Structure 1
Amino acid sequence: MSSDQDGCHLCKEYLRDAVSIPCGHIFCAVCLKTYWDHADHTGSYICPECRVTYSKRPTPRRMGGSRTSTIQRNSESFPPPPPDPDYNYAGPQDIGCDICIGKKHKAVKSCLMCLASYCDKHLKPHYESNTFKRHKLVDEIGHLDRQICPQHQKGLELFCRTDQMCICVLCTVKEHKGHDMVSAEQERAEEQQRLGATQAEIQEKIHDRLKQMEELKQAVDSLKNSAHTALQECEKMFADMMRSIERMQQEMTKLISANKRAALNNAEGHVERLTHEIADLKRRDSEITQLSRTEDHIHFIQSYHMLIAQTEAEELPTVTVNPYFTFGPVTKAVSEMKQHLNEFSNDELVKVAKAVNKMTFCQLDESKKRRSVKSEEAPVYKSLPPQDLQHRDDFLKYNRPSRSRRGHRVSHQL
């Protein structure tokens, strides 16, 4: 839309109190209001310029000073208010008057005798002249060619029940002679009753469907609440199991650390004792070396007997070291515990999946079908048992939406 627009598409005058609509076109406020007021009964609002259709009446947006300034080009005075546009002309979606010449007005009534549609102006003779007194007027219906017998070019007034079709008076002479025929009015009256029964049946089905929808919504709400509660409780129980595993880990760490400390303390005690014994033996070895070098025979003899007696009387304990000592059994026990826990958790997950899958929710039950207006009624909702999961891999594949789910993570961590 050009920002230089000066005139209103409806009144063809300078814009006055300009407003814009969502498609970008601009009109006088009074022109647009009058135009759309005529469309209130249809519920469909069309842009007068580009014919864009809105299902809801848009709220026009008033334009700023740049639009107002275009109105003030005449510095002496404002242009006169725009005249009310004539919106009675037939648009693309309207039926035009068959009598109007040139630009046709909207047809408001159709005559089943004349097989023509009339606007307000050309309809007056049907109300004022006795000539048209017996003519039947109906609301504008369009497609009047369907009211004419294609063979005799006469108005359709009768209904042939034998051939199930509308016919004219001349059709009774030859083509439909001897058939079961009634007036269109009588057939309409009987079909109207059947239509009422059909409408009552449709309304009953609507009520039934609304009831099923409400039950389904309540079931969905209950399902959501149950799933939320189950998720919270499972999360809490898995957290408790995680804490239990952490406590087991702490106890195992304490056990290994305590045994390690005890073994190290024992070894340190033996090392200290061996250190003292080695120092004492080295001292004796030094004394023996010195004694062997002495020239005093008496001193040698006296010291020799004392050293020999002391050495023979002393028995040193032997320190035996187990070269196969290891904490491997602890690691093996924890590994077996992990394997048992994995197998147990996998079996339990499959059991839980089977138990949950046996609790059905809803399905379309096609075994219950009732007659409808044109076809069988849509099936009602009923429970459907999903396929049982036989293995853990099936469960994990079925339960794949989020690999970060806590339960899945725990089973792999264990």
Structure 2
Amino acid sequence: MTWEKPKLRRIRPHSSCYSGKPTRAPTQTQRKWEDLKLKISEDSTHSDMASSISMSEEQFLCSICLDTFTRPVSTPCGHNFCLACITRYWDDAPLCQCPLCKETFQTRPHLKVNTFISELASQFLLLQVTDARAWSSERPPANSGAAVLCDVCTDAQRGAVRSCLECVTSYCDLHLEPHHRAAGLRGHTLVDPLEDLEARMCKEHNRLLRLFCRRDNVLLCDVCSRLRNLSHHVVPVQQAFREMRDELEVADARAREMIRERQEKVQATRASVQQSQRDTGAAIARSTEELAALASEIQRSQAELVQVMEERQKAAEEEAEGFIGCLERDVAQLEAARGRLRELEAGGDQLRFLQEVPDACVLPRTADPTSFSFDRHVWLHQIRTCLSSSVSQLQAVLNNINAQMSEFSGSEDASDTTLEYMQQHKVNVVLDASTAHPQLILSDDRKEVRFSMSLVLWRFQNLYRSPNTFTENLAVLGEQGFMSCRFYFEVFVGRKTEWCLGVAKASVQRRGPMVQTPHNGVWSLWFKKDRFETLSYQDVPVCWGKVERVGVFVDYNRGQVSFFNVQTETLIYSFTECHFTEALHPYFNTGDNEYGSNLDPMVIVPVGQMR
């Protein structure tokens, strides 16, 4: 094996060819390089190589990336490449062959890092850096006023225009010229002048930080990479920079897109707020006008009602006064007739008495006192009944408005007022046969209850033996009681014309008729043909209409019992601000036939499943 002496070309322009001065004594770096060549000659089998060896940076360049070797490997044909470069080359090539001599390999060679060449390349780079630092330390201090000075200038230091990351040196425009000319230097990374280039050296191994670990996000030298065995995660700094710069551009583009979307959303939201303000103002004005018109209509109806009642009263009084005057005249005539009769009776002339008595016995014509009656109770009762019905309907409408306003007001969590939210608290309800009235029939699974015209004899016989049985109300309770929780269940009532549904406290009255008061311990909705009432106030409708499937929701801690039309998902009525002190049981009352045929059952149905 023979060595061909290559032409030496330095990358540090500090020799006489750049400075124009006589050749100086060898520097410390040059002496180290000579020692390195001596070490090479001692390891070589050809002793005549040591005297003629001359090495330059071109010998440490990869022919693929044209950069200094990074983890160099040798192919079977004897050529050297970076491990990553030859790997990518073979991955993309159809044949496994050498990029230089084109020798084809039958199987892909298993390559290992050539530690000898890797060490030479690292030492060469280190000597270059050390040489530049030593040469800079020998120069007299000078300052051109630039922030970063050239590390190569020997006399007056000129300002640096670029810094080389591979050379770890800053150059002025004069000494930067080889990086534009030399093939081995053109691949170096040039950046704006940097002051702290030493920070780019590995503190542990004093080698250039040329690699980047994707897994740990740290900079590494080639020694760090070998020691950590991070071959699958390590890439050159330039590649990592390009990748991260691409990622940064993608992130920047995404950020710009997100900013644009949010700015558009801000504009749209502001426009919506402004439109909502206009719509809300118009709605307030319209609602105020409508409610004011309704209030004015109510006041007008009130005035008309008062006027009609006063006029009717005045006419009745005038009619009564006329009848009283007629009766008083009749009384005067009768008194006069009685006077004449007493005169005849008091006289002693019998002949005259007999002659005048027949005429005196004929009483004057008078009005029939029974033909007139001043009983205004029936008329007033009719007016009160009609007014009470109208007021009840109006009150039911107002209650519905208030309930909807409460739902929209935001004073409660909006999700707490939706049927979907309430159905999440469903419970399994079964009927307690021991509480059922004798005229109620329960299904075998205790999910249905119906009214029967005949008594269940065995239950009637034991009626007074069990204190739990309802004796007057056609009612039955759920078996399980609930405290300090939320629960929900649904009941199918179908076409029943009367029913009562809700919850009752555990100690609700079982014996005798139940009085309709707010303190009877039952919070239920009572349906009668076409209107809804409560067991708290008799004959006071809270809603009108019909429903086939009813949902009952109880919030024990909030003191609320609500009834929903499951088909339309609308609120029927709510008991609010209730005070519960004991367990609550579902309450069922089938009703009788007072409002027509009412023999259909009340059925406890699975929540969410239509019958």
Band of TM-score, shorter chain? 0.3 to 0.5
* Structure with max Cα Rg: 2
Higher strand fraction (1 or 2) = 2
Q: TM-score, normalised by structure 2?
A: 0.33
RCO higher in structure (CA 8 A, sep ≥6)? 2
Q: TM-score, normalised by structure 1?
A: 0.46
